[in-house]
Amino acid sequence: MAAQENYNAFLDALMHEHLFLAAKDVHERVTAKFNVSKDNARKIVSRAAAKRIINSSKPSTFGNGQYIYYCNTYMLDLSAVKKITEKTRPPIYRLIMLLELNSGIVSYYEALKITASPSVDSTSKISSLDDILKLLSRLDFVYEKRDGNNNRYIIQKEFGQMLEKPDESRKINLHNQKMMTDCSLIPDILGWLVNANIIDNTSFLYRSKTSPGMGIIHNYLYWDACAYTKTTGINEILGAKADSREKQTLVVLDVVLAMDYTFVHLNSFLARIQININSVKEEKRKTLPVIIYRECSREVFFTMRKNGIMAFSISAIFGSRIYEIIKKTSQLPILLKSDQDLEQSVESILETIKSSGQEGALRDLRGTLFEYLMFGYLSSLYPHAGIEQNVVLKKGEGKHEFDYIITSSHPPELVFVELKGLRDGTFVSLGDSKTKATLKWFFNKSMRLAKDFYKDKNPKNLKIKAVFITTGGFWKNTKEFREQMENSSFKSAKSKVIIDRSELLTLLNESGFNNEVKTIEKYYSEIEEEYAKSSDFNLNEDEEPDDLPF
């Protein structure tokens, strides 16, 4: 007993000096101080914890089954856990750091990425996000919350308490806006990589701005985007002969535009790459990692280079004025809800794009801006209706993102709106239900999905209607189909079903939307001939890359 009292006094003084220590460090200090075996040291520390001389994180462990021991007058916090896990459990450390960088909130998807968690349970030593969250939740550090779109968020508690509802909602909304900023340019970035011959344009997947809380799963890991490339240098398999995925190189992207790219992001990317490379027994996977960042420190940049990662600042791709464009674009959802200065803001962004010479490169963003530009006109057609933007509907294996869904009582209609902000001289084709961005894709596939989705979710029995508007034109072979649609059940009481550029400009003029007419005529005009010759990819605006977020 006297000996244990000596041990207890030593441990009490040790914890008051350090506040907290990992079990391994405590055991080593007891062994050194009293010249006892490691097994005896563990027993001594365990007895002290049982008597509350020191506190233990039991049953929570932090690497190799280790507890954290801490002073009995100290409340264990995330700072202590962060310090302990930096070496023993890096995934936990990276998650805590990301929470700090984002003012105490991250999405579940971002947490999956930052912890390099697999999409399925693994028998290996790879950390599982759910296991990490159980540990942090048990210690009253974090809790989970879902928003109205069923996106999951991890939120840091304040003094062991959940946030008040208004603070919680504000934090979620602000963070969702940051995620949308990260996704806002991914399609245009992929287009640039295609033009640079870094990736192929035949198949790529990416995290969508309409579903920023969902990413891409490839090889059971999470990515912002992935593609394949035949451009693998001069070797035994030339690009022309790389006719299968096995002969091509997987390209994985990490895109961070809403904040600086830090070692936290880089280390998680490297961890996922390493897991991916080593996930096959016969030979290591061929992987080309690409980072697109807003800003990063010199140390981070040189670490990217040291690890053979291809990295581009967003300004190197789209010019220095892209920062202004990103900042203004991130405010549009807020302006849409408040209905203030929306049209002026859209025009300002389009002018910045035009003056920076990036009209062709930022074609997807220009399409998004057209959606915002049309909000006022659509609101005037259905003045007392509810209007939702960028709604993704899923039914079975099918999925489609509708630019707007309008719920109207007078007339009793549910209107699905498709908007194509194309340049003058670009034509939408007839296509079929398998060809994206065509008339038959929208009316024969997407609208069928909408009907099926609302079959049992339409208590007011609203009539299903559709509106397809483009600032471009339609090929001649669409004439008969367009006439059929105008005489179909899709015809709304307030609008034509299919509207081309000339019809749209006439309707806007008649309705008093003169500024919108000027904006379309100025910024959705024919592309400059010089850029058109240099970019086959951007000439095909009636074709869209795969935009299927997981």
pLDDT tens profile 462-506: 999 999 999 999 999 999 999 999 999 999 999 999 999 999 999
Q: State the Cα–Cα distance between residues 400 and 217, nearest whole angstrom.
A: 19
Asked whether the predicted pLDDT for residue 66 surpasses 90, the reply is: no
Mean pLDDT, the chain, rounded, equals: 87
Tell me the whole-structure pTM to 2 decimals. Answer: 0.82
Contact predicate 190/545, CB 8 Å? yes
What pLDDT does residue 362 have? 92
Rounded distance, CA 447 to CA 378, Å? 19
Percent of the chain with pLDDT over 70: 89
The two beta strands, 310-313 and 287-293, are: parallel
Q: For residue 367, what pLDDT is reported?
A: 93
Render 359-380 in DSSP notation, one character per residue: TTTTHHHHHHHHHHHTHHHHHH
List beta partners, residue 206. Answer: 225
3-state helix, strand, coil in the chain (%, to 5): 45, 20, 35
pLDDT in tens, 200-253: 876 789 998 888 988 899 988 999 999 999 886 655 555 555 555 566 889 999
CA distances 246 to 76, 202, 230, 284, Å, are 50, 15, 11, 12
178 burial (CB, 10 Å; 0-12 / 13-18 / 19+) is buried
**pLDDT per position as a tens digit, 126-145:** 668 998 998 898 888 999 99
Q: Do the Cβ atoms of 177 and 333 come closer than 8 Å? A: yes
pLDDT in tens, 314-365: 999 999 999 999 999 999 988 888 767 889 999 999 999 999 988 888 999 9
Predicted confidence (pLDDT) at residue 529 exceeds the cutoff of 80: no
| C-alpha gyration radius of the chain | 28
For residue 103, give both structure tokens.
Answer: 């003012």
What ranges in 102-231 are assigned the alpha helix state H?
108-114, 129-138, 165-183, 186-195
CA-angle at 119, arms to 116 and 123, nearest 5° = 85
Q: For residue 154, what are its two tokens?
A: 């991890």
Q: Is residue 380 over pLDDT 70? A: yes
Per-residue model confidence (pLDDT) at position 243: 55
- The CA distance from 142 to 104, in Å, is 9
pLDDT score for 19: 81
CA distance linking residue 9 with residue 37, whole number of Å:
19
Count, in order, helices (H) and strands (E) of the chain.
24, 20
